């Protein structure tokens, strides 16, 4: 086995745009002239607080242009929104401790921001409009600058409305310069559910969910009374999605005690709300029935396509290696509404990292990933042709890439399901942390409830019984240990994400920034309050967040 100091990278975007995207991220030495590019003439570029590199600090530069693009997904050609004309957008790569400086030139027909998912950065660079910055208007720009302190697998995406469910997402890899090169190649695999450009936009889907239209096949629903006054649910800025909510009276009457019943639930047309039901805002069953184990109801949206690195299974991303090579997989679930179960045909995976932090190496045949979660795995590849498959939980279809270590061999069918997908799959919260990833043991100074609540009809999601803007923030002070008692009071799984911090799962000590809560599950997490600011925490089902399932973590003076 060879050791490589700068790993062989296979992103496999499947088009000429990928090479240009990788080349577009430049690195300059500390205090190098030209380290800050000049703005486009005639265009006013805003900026966060000035960040000057420290002596010896390397600077990674990038100009990022969100725009309307036409993209070939490997057969389906769609009009969508992209970063730099590619799906996924350009990889940004840095070393831990580098200063990353990204100039955003917004060429979209709407305002936008960029959120650097999982990075413990300065509050002003976090990309949440209305909380950490003003949104970047169409035709304007903004400069993000932050130090990436922790090595790991991350990604970036907007934090405005449901823009993530277009083509606006891309990987961000932070390397550890001191990490030994114990693998021969690396694949970055970005999973997605896709609807944009197929006849409906994500914004139209959200509007249908909120209005209750498109939810076909739902009969016999009772016990969902008391939800009058749900007007003005605009959702375009900062993922708040719940402005102008007149007539809600503190969310009273939202089926907090009824039992009711739910009859049959038929299918829906492609690209519409799925018609699935998810519990009541008050936390009761609300007449909902549990879906299949372990995640209950599958989600809210039916998608026509599922992608690995921007490609459909009939024209999949090609992953090439030599037999016997040891390969690192960096797997990112960038989907808006879909939990994936992944497996590599003919191989077991050894999970080594969760959300960037080392875990005790754990061998598994298959792995569940919630939206926003990232896992690293290593595998020694065999001789042949093998499918890497990502199955959307509770939905029809799949995403796929193809591993080829031999010029011979028949490529797998687009619908193949490897044997590794039979039987139980690993849930990330079952992992144990490496000793190096543990937080120091101490008692919490602050304990706060975080009850995830909501229902499908009317479409309303919240935390602690109310949507964002009507629920009270969690108040903390610098230096405190904060325990958040996460309680999922719905019949759906929710991936819960905390901005600007990592947390430890109480009991195991597993370090993460996004954790998947099963229906009715309680899972305390602990945070060291070491990053002053106002921070968003939320469900990373983008439709739930936009309908109110968010909560502010606010530092007091």
Domain for residue 345, yes or no? no
Residue with more model confidence, 354 or 244: 354
Q: What average pLDDT does the segment 70-74 reach?
A: 98
Could you tell me where the beta strands, DSSP code E, fall in 120-266?
141-147, 152-157, 170-175, 185-194
Domain for residue 273, yes or no? no
Tens-place pLDDT, residues 260-315: 333 333 333 345 555 444 444 444 333 344 456 788 887 899 999 999 999 999 99
* Residues linked to residue 476 through DSSP beta bridges, in sequence order: 555
Of 177, 192, 224, the last residue of a domain is 177
- Give the model's pLDDT for residue 33: 30
Measured in degrees and rounded to the nearest 5, phi and psi for residue 137 equal -70, 160
Domain for residue 550, yes or no? yes
- Helix or strand or coil: residue 233? coil
Domain for residue 142, yes or no? yes
If you count DSSP H runs as helices and E runs as strands, how many of each does the chain have, helices first?
Answer: 3, 35
- Give the model's pLDDT for residue 36: 31
Residue with more model confidence, 129 or 19: 129
- Give the model's pLDDT for residue 12: 43
Is residue 69 over pLDDT 60? Answer: yes
Tens-place pLDDT, residues 107-119: 999 999 999 999 9
Provide the CATH number for the domain around residue 167. 2.60.40.420
DSSP 487-548: EE-SSB-EEEEETT--EEETTT--EESEEEEPTT-EEEEEEE--S-SEEEEEESSHHHHHTT
pLDDT category, 51, cuts 50, 70, 90? low
pLDDT category, 373, cuts 50, 70, 90? very high
Cis-peptide into 88, omega within 30 deg: yes
pLDDT category, 222, cuts 50, 70, 90? very low
Domain for residue 260, yes or no? no
Of 123, 153, 177, the last residue of a domain is 177
Q: Which residues contact 434 (CB under 8 A, 6 or more apart)?
A: 357, 358, 359, 360
- Give the model's pLDDT for residue 224: 32
Tens-place pLDDT, residues 488-521: 999 999 999 999 999 999 999 999 999 999 999 9
Compute the distance between CA of residue 328 and CA of residue 316 in angstroms, rounded to an integer. Answer: 19
How many domains does the chain divide into? 2
Task: Judge contact between 505 and 485, C-beta under 8 A.
Answer: no
Is residue 6 over pLDDT 80? Answer: no
Is residue 247 over pLDDT 50? Answer: no
Write out the two tokens for 219: 């009969």
Domain for residue 517, yes or no? yes
Q: What average pLDDT does the segment 361-380 reach?
A: 98
Task: Judge contact between 127 and 113, C-beta under 8 A.
Answer: yes
Domain for residue 385, yes or no? no
- Give the model's pLDDT for residue 274: 56
Measured in degrees and rounded to the nearest 5, phi and psi for residue 466 equal -150, 155
CA angle 411, 413, 419 (to 5 degrees): 95
Domain for residue 102, yes or no? yes
Is residue 427 over pLDDT 50? Answer: yes
Residue pointed to by tokens 């469900």: 539
Of 177, 204, 228, the last residue of a domain is 177
Write out the two tokens for 500: 């600007």
| Alpha helices, H only, 142-277 | 202-211
- Give the model's pLDDT for residue 50: 53
* Domain encompassing residue 474: 436-555
> 48-57, 166-175, 342-351, 537-546: which range is least confident on average?
48-57
Percent of the chain residues topping a pLDDT of 70:
76
Residue 118: left (phi > 0), alpha (psi -120 to 50), or beta? Answer: left
Is residue 434 over pLDDT 70? Answer: yes
- Give the model's pLDDT for residue 232: 33
Compute the distance between CA of residue 313 and CA of residue 396 in angstroms, rounded to an integer. Answer: 13
- Give the model's pLDDT for residue 271: 59
- Give the model's pLDDT for residue 549: 98
> 19-28, 34-43, 337-346: which range is least confident on average?
34-43
Measured in degrees and rounded to the nearest 5, phi and psi for residue 92 equal -110, 130
Residue with more model confidence, 409 or 1: 409
Q: What is the mean pLDDT of the chain?
A: 82
Instruction: Provide the 10 A C-beta neighbour count for residue 184.
Output: 20
Burial level of 545, CB count in 10 A (0-12/13-18/19+)? buried
Tens-place pLDDT, residues 542-551: 999 999 999 9
């Amino acid at each position: 086995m060879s050791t490589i100091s700068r790993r062989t990278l296979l992103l496999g975007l499947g088009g000429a745009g990928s090479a240009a995207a990788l080349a577009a991220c430049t690195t300059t030495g500390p205090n190098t002239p030209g380290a800050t590019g000049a703005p486009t003439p005639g265009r006013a570029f805003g900026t966060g607080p000035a960040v000057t590199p420290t002596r010896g600090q390397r600077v990674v530069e990038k100009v990022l242009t969100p725009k309307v693009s036409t993209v070939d997904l490997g057969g389906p050609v769609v009009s969508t929104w992209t970063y730099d004309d590619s799906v996924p957008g350009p990889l940004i790569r840095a070393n831990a401790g580098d200063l990353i400086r990204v100039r955003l030139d917004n060429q979209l027909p709407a305002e936008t921001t960029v959120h650097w998912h999982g990075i413990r950065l300065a509050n002003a660079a976090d990309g949440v409009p209305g909380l950490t910055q003003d949104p970047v208007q169409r035709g304007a720009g903004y400069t993000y600058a932050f130090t990436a302190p922790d090595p790991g697998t991350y990604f970036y995406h907007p934090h405005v409305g449901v823009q993530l469910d277009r083509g606006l997402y891309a990987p961000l890899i932070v390397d550890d310069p001191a990490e030994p090169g114990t693998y021969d190649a690396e694949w970055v695999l970005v999973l997605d559910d896709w609807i944009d450009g197929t006849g409906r936009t994500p914004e139209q889907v959200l509007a249908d969910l909120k209005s209750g239209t498109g939810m076909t096949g739902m009969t016999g629903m009772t016990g969902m009374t008391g939800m009058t006054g749900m007007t003005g649910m605009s959702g375009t800025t900062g993922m708040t999605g719940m402005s102008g909510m007149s007539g809600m009276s503190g969310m009273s009457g939202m089926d907090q005690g009824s039992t009711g019943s739910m009859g049959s639930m038929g299918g829906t047309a492609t690209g519409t709300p799925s018609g699935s039901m998810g519990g009541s805002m008050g936390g009761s069953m609300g007449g909902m029935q549990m879906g299949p184990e372990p995640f209950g109801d599958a989600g809210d949206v039916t998608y026509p396509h599922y992608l690995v690195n921007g490609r459909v299974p009939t024209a999949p991303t090609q992953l090439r290696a030599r037999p016997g090579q040891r390969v690192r997989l960096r797997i990112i679930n960038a989907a808006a509404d879909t939990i994936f179960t992944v497996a590599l045909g003919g191989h077991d995976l050894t999970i080594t990292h969760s959300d960037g932090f080392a875990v005790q190496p754990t061998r598994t045949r298959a792995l569940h990933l919630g939206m926003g979660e990232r896992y690293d795995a290593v595998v020694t590849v065999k001789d042949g042709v093998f499918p890497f498959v990502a199955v959307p939980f509770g939905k029809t279809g799949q995403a796929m890439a193809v591993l080829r270590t031999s010029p011979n061999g028949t490529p797998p069918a687009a619908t193949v399901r490897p044997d590794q997908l039979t039987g139980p799959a690993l849930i990330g919260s079952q992992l144990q942390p490496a000793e190096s990833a543990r937080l120091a043991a101490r008692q919490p100074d602050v304990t706060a409830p975080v009850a995830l609540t909501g229902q499908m009809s009317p479409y309303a999601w919240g935390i602690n019984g109310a949507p964002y803007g009507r629920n009270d923030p969690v108040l903390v002070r610098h230096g405190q240990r904060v325990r958040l008692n996460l309680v999922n009071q719905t019949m759906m799984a929710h991936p819960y994400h905390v901005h600007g911090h990592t947390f430890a799962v109480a009991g195991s000590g597993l370090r993460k920034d996004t954790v998947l809560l099963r229906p009715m599950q309680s899972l305390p997490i602990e945070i060291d309050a070491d990053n002053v600011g106002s921070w968003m925490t939320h469900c990373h089902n983008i439709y739930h967040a936009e309908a109110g399932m968010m909560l502010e973590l606010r530092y007091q003076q």
